[in-house]
Amino acid sequence: MASEFHHHAFRDQAAAFRSAVIQAGPDAEVSTCPGWDVRRLVQHLARVYANVALALELEPGDERPRPPRPPADFDDALTWWDDRFTHLVHALSTSDPARPVWSFFPGGTAERWTRRMAHETAIHRLDAEHALACLGPDHVHELIFDPALAADGIDEMLTVILPVTVNWAEREHEGKVLYHAPDAGRAWLVEYQPGWPPVAGAPTDAALEVDATVAGTADAVYRRVWGRPSTALITGNTALVNLVSGR
């Protein structure tokens, strides 16, 4: 998917995030991130932006960047969020999109970091909307993500993030999980083998036998793979499904 799509998504989701956190207020509980309030959510996302800005200046083999801690006061933290967001948008827009840089996932570039920031911001925007609406941890917010954005987020989680979330060499999981988002015309098959990172891609066999299925709108599956309340329908081996639960 074109990088411009991710640049627009990043900016749009950031604007919606900022609006929601201001309306919710610093002390509102973020039920989708247990133990967090809106203040902590703003601090977290601002520090993520600071981290990525540093990553864009590093080589792939350099040490992990260490961004500064955000301010404790909410107003100061929000101002810091504004500054970090503005700086990162500029850095992502002016960097060579294909130059290898530091990342926690394989193949880090400015282009791939832009995609990562679009979805990091979208999911935390959803968290902020939950806080604003005072919803509990099991309630599905009425917000609906665009199918193209949601499908891209599913793809990023399953094909890029999932393989590096844990030390799979120590895991003994085995089986196949099908993720299906008909409204986006997309499906993903995730295959687990003991001791190996999971492999995800488009299924090639319509009659494929799987151990579990996660199906629904792209929006619903997007929320499910990122560990947020969702209406996605889950059948089969839930233990395999629960291996995907991003935060």
Same domain, 10 and 118: yes
| DSSP 8-state code for residue 161 | I
Pick the last residue of a domain from 116, 133, 150: 133
66 and 9 housed in the same domain: yes
Cβ proximity of 241 and 180 under 8 Å: no
- pTM, to two decimals: 0.96
Q: Please write down the HEC assignment for all residues of 53-75.
A: HHHCCCCCCCCCCCCCCCCCCHH
Question: For residue 191, is it within any domain?
Answer: yes
Three-state DSSP class for 30?
Answer: strand
Q: How many distinct structural domains can be found in the chain?
A: 2
| pLDDT digit string (tens) for the chain, length 247 residues | 558 999 999 999 999 999 999 999 999 999 999 999 999 999 999 999 999 999 999 999 999 999 999 999 999 999 999 999 999 999 999 999 999 999 999 999 999 999 999 999 999 999 999 999 999 999 999 999 999 999 999 999 999 999 998 999 999 999 999 999 999 999 999 999 999 999 999 998 766 899 999 999 999 999 999 999 999 999 999 999 999 987 7
Please report the pLDDT score of residue 1 as a whole number: 52
Domain match, 110 and 173 both: no
Do 128 and 187 share a domain, yes or no?
no
Beta strands in 8-48 (DSSP E): 29-30, 36-37
Give residue 208's pLDDT: 82
What pLDDT score was predicted for residue 246? 74
Q: Which domain holds residue 222?
A: 167-241
The DSSP element (H or E) to which 205 belongs, if any, is: none
Contact 74, 42 (CB under 8 A): yes
Instruction: Tell me the Cα Rg of the chain.
Output: 18
What pLDDT score was predicted for residue 2? 55
Q: Is there a single domain that holds both residue 129 and residue 171?
A: no
Kindly state whether residues 37 and 102 are assigned to the same domain. yes
Same domain for 129 and 24: yes
- Indicate whether 140 belongs to any domain: no
Residue 121 sits in the same domain as residue 18: yes
Q: Report the half-sphere exposure of 154 (CA within 13 A, side-chain side).
A: 33
Last residue of a domain, one of 133, 159, 192: 133
Q: Considering the domain boundaries, does residue 90 fall inside one?
A: yes
Q: What is the CATH number for 26?
A: 1.20.120
Helix axes 38-55, 110-133, angle to 10 degrees: 180
Q: Using an 8 Å Cβ cutoff, are 229 and 126 in contact? A: no
What is the Cα–Cα distance from 33 to 30, expressed in whole angstroms? 6
Inter-residue contact 33 to 125 (CB < 8 Å)? no
Which among 227, 228, 231, 9 is positioned nearest to 129, based on CA atoms? Answer: 228
- Contacts of residues 103-112 at CB distance under 8 Å and 24 or more positions apart, as own/partner, are 103/55, 103/60, 104/64, 104/164, 105/160, 105/161, 105/164, 106/160, 106/164, 108/55, 108/60, 110/56, 111/3, 111/6, 112/160
Let me know if residue 161 belongs to a domain.
no
Question: Is the domain of 10 the same as that of 129?
Answer: yes
**What pLDDT does residue 206 have?**
67
Same domain, 105 and 224: no
